[in-house]
Amino acid sequence: MSDYNELVNIDIAGKNILIREDLNVPLENGKIINDARIRAAIPTIKYALSKGAKLAIISHFGRPKEGEFNEKFSLRLVARRLSEILKMEVFFEDKPLDVKSPEYKNNITLYENTRFLNGEKSGDSKLAEKIAKNCDVFVMDAFGSSHRKHSSTFTISKYAPITCGGLLLMNEILNIEKIFKDPKKPVLAIIGGSKISTKLNILKKLITKVDAIIIGGGIANTFLLSSGYSIGKSLVEADMVIDAKKIINIAKEKNVSIPLPKDVVCESSNNSFIKNTNEITDEEMIKDIGPKTSTIYKKFIKEAGTILWNGPVGVFEDALFENGTKDIACSIKDAKALTIAGGGDTISAIEKFINIEDLDYISTGGGAFLEFLEGNELPGIKIIKKL
C-alpha cells in the first residue's frame, strides 16, 4: 500500500489535468543539446493522454529575471521537441499564467516559463490559485524542483481539487528509497565533487546506512588534509577539516570503510604526473585519483550489492585527468549491483564514458536528489503524501 496519492490510482477520464514537469533542458546556440528531462516526462504525459484527459503542462526554464519575459528562456523550443517525441501537436501558450488561467481547449498545451511570473519563487498564493483554476487534478511530476516551495510546485496544492504524484516522481521516490529500504549488501556510496560542505549532510546520513564510501574530487583532498597528508595547492576546504575527521571517526565506530586515495594525478607547471599521496609537494595540485587507487575502488565496486554514485572523482572534463572517473563509470557499468546515480556532473560523466542505460536508475534531480538522500522531507513530495 503506497503512502502517496498516485496518478495511476485516480480516475482522470475526461478530466482537466495540470502537470508540473521539470523541462529545464540545456541549450547551446539556441538548440537543445540534451533532451533527457523531456523524455523522462513522457510516460506521465502519455499515460494521462491514454486515459482521455486534457493536459496543461507547466515548467520553469533557466533563471530569467522574475516577472520579465526573455526569449532566451522561452519554452517554445521545448514544445517543439515534445511534439516531435509524442508525434502529435503540443500547443504552446505564450501568454503568462498570471494573465490567463489554463483553459484546456486542446489535448495537450505547454504553457510559458513559470519563472516569468511574479510570485513564482516566493510561493505566492494568488498566483498559485490562478494557475490551479479550471484543473480537476494537479500532478506533481517535477522531481528536480520538488525541493522548492514555489507556487507551481507547492502552494498550488492548496487550490487544486486533487494533488497526486506522476509516474516520474513516483519512480524517483521508489528507486532512491531502494538505497535505504532493505538494500542488497554491501552498500557502496561514491561521493565526489569539489566541496565537502555541499556533501556534508549526505555523508553524515550515508555513514549510518552504507558499508563503504568512496570519496573523490576536492572532497577527498579535505579528507587527506584531515588525515595529515600534504596536498600542495590542491582545491580544499581547510575550515572543514574537523568535520572530515569526525566522519572518519564515526566510520571507524560503525565499521564503514572510507578508503582514501593511495596515489593521485597531479598538475604542476602545466605538466601532469602520478604521485603517491604521501609525496605531494607544496607546488603540486591534485586533479584525479591514480591507477593504484582506481584498482582499489574497482574491487569495492565489483563486490557491492547496491551502488549510489554522486559526483566525479577528478577533473574529468580534461582528458589529462579523466581516467579516475572513467574507471569508476566503466566499473559501475560492469557491476552486478543495483546502480543508482544522480547529479548533473555525474550524468555528464556517465554520458561521456558509458551509456545512461548501463545503470539501473539515473535521477533527474540535482539538489532535490541530494536533499532526498539526506532524509529531508521535500515540499513537492510532501504535498502528495496521504493524510
pLDDT digits (tens, 9 = 90+) for 16-35: 999 999 999 999 888 999 89
7-171 and 178-373 have identical folds? yes
Q: Which residue has the higher pLDDT, 252 or 271?
A: 252
pLDDT of residue 362: 94
SS3 343: coil
CA distance 374 to 372: 5
Count of positions (residues) in the chain: 387
pLDDT digits (tens, 9 = 90+) for 325-384: 999 999 999 999 999 999 889 999 999 999 999 999 999 988 899 899 888 899 999 999
Task: Give me the mean pLDDT over the 164-174 stretch.
Answer: 97
Domain residue ranges of the chain, discontinuous segments joined by +: 7-171, 178-373
Q: Which residue has the higher pLDDT, 331 or 193?
A: 331
pLDDT of residue 32: 94
Specify whether domain 178-373 bears CATH 3.40.50.1260.
yes
Contacts from 319-322 at CB under 8 Å and sequence distance 24+?
320/265, 320/267, 320/272, 320/287, 321/265, 321/267, 321/272, 321/287, 321/288, 322/288, 322/352, 322/353
Options 3.30.450.20, 3.40.50.1260, 3.40.50.1820, 3.30.70.1060; CATH for 7-171 is 3.40.50.1260
pTM attached to this predicted model:
0.90
Residues marked active site are found at 37, 195, 344, 367
CA distance 362 to 342: 6
180 falls in which pLDDT band (50, 70, 90)? confident
Least confident of 102-106, 157-161, 212-216, 297-301: 102-106
Whether 328 and 291 have beta carbons less than 8 Å apart is answered as no
198 falls in which pLDDT band (50, 70, 90)? confident
pLDDT of residue 98: 72
12 pLDDT above the threshold of 80: yes
6 falls in which pLDDT band (50, 70, 90)? very high
Q: What amino acid occupies position 120?
A: E
> How far is C-alpha 168 from the geometric centre of its chain's CA atoms?
13
pLDDT of residue 88: 96
CA distance 228 to 61: 45
pLDDT of residue 377: 92
Task: Give me the mean pLDDT over the 166-181 stretch.
Answer: 93
CA distance 41 to 143: 10
